[in-house]
Amino acid sequence: MPAVGAARDPEAFRGRAGPCVLEVELGHDFADDLGVARSAYSTVPTVRDKCGERRPEQAAAQQLFEGLAHIGGYDLLLVFYLQALLGSCDNAAGVIR
């Protein structure tokens, strides 16, 4: 797993959620591609399973996405492995897709 926090980014954070680790970076240099406007989103939370299993990662990311969408006040994208757009939430319209 890549270094997170002061070793890589002084504005990155890490926490645990069950079998997964949640990394939050307050900036990124991802390009817009595959129909995903990544440059419009400054914060990147990444969910990683400690054993590298994709199913728990996706379930935890989906739960995080739905929780933040329910709270409101966030424009969100749910992207799986930076390749597949699984969902989006437009705070201004209050719509989850």
Mean pLDDT of 70-87: 81
Mean pLDDT of the chain: 76
User: pLDDT higher for 71 or 12?
Assistant: 71
**Average pLDDT for 69-76:** 83
| Whether this model's pTM surpasses 0.85 | no
Q: What mean pLDDT do residues 7-14 have?
A: 56
Write down the pLDDT at residue 29. Answer: 83
Instruction: Give backbone dihedrals phi and psi of 44, rounded to 5 degrees, phi first.
Output: -125, 100
State yes or no: pLDDT of 3 exceeds 50: no
What is the rounded average pLDDT of the residues 78-90?
80
Whether residue 88 contacts residue 97, with contact meaning beta carbons closer than 8 Å, is answered with yes
